């Protein structure tokens, strides 16, 4: 039996990878926000959780594209909050802007019910991963993901 190495924060957000597109260098995820991560009497998602959703989507894309040789460490992350996120499902898509040998740049958009609620861009330091991590996503949050080959 395989061990679930999904981080607790990803379990809390019910994060799932829906699609990995190697051709367009993009990744789509879904999340489920509960009142537990909201303020204003449980009605508005706290901004840090919104940021975590987009940051994770960008990081998992870099990990996939580097065949799990690298993990991205955020140098910076710039977030624009465009509308209030509410409890319920959210969809995120990340894209690579540029991926170099040691630095990468990515962006993400977070939507809820067809409305864009936040965007992010990030500069990422690519750090070699110790040990094999290849099955981390495929066995857990990406096990049902659609994979589009280059």
Q: Which two tokens stand for residue 88?
A: 């319920």
Q: Over 70: is that where the pLDDT of 25 sits? A: yes
CA 85/CA 112 separation, integer angstroms = 7
Q: How many residues are given for the chain?
A: 150
Mean pLDDT for the chain?
93
Residue 19, number of CB atoms within 10 A of its CB? 15
Under 8 Å between Cβ of 121 and 97: yes
Block residue for tokens 């998602």 = 45
Residue 76 contacts by C-beta under 8 Å, 6 or more apart in sequence? 122, 123
State residue 33 phi and psi, 5-degree precision. Answer: -90, 130
Domain 10-134 coded CATH 3.10.129.10: yes
What's the pTM? 0.94
What is the arithmetic mean of pLDDT over 104-124? 98
Q: For residue 10, what is the DSSP state?
A: H
pLDDT tens digits, residue range 59-76? 999 999 998 899 999 999
pLDDT at 133: 63
pLDDT at 61: 96
pLDDT tens digits, residue range 130-150? 765 666 677 778 888 999 997
CA 81/CA 116 separation, integer angstroms = 9
Residue 68, SS3 per DSSP: coil
């Amino acid at each position: 039996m395989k061990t679930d190495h999904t981080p607790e924060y990803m379990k809390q957000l019910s994060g799932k990878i829906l699609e990995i597109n190697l051709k367009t260098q993009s990744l789509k995820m879904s999340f489920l926000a509960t009142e537990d991560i909201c303020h204003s009497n449980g009605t508005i998602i706290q901004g840090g959780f919104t940021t975590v959703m987009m940051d994770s989507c960008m990081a998992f894309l870099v990990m996939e594209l580097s065949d799990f040789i690298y993990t991205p460490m955020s140098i910076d992350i710039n977030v624009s909050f465009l509308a209030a996120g509410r409890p319920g499902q959210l969809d995120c898509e990340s894209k690579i802007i540029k991926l170099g040998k040691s630095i990468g740049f990515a962006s993400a958009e977070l939507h809820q019910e067809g409305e864009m609620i936040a965007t992010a861009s990030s500069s990422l330091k690519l750090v070699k991963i110790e040990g094999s991590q290849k099955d981390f996503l495929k066995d857990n949050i990406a096990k049902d993901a659609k994979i589009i080959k280059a």
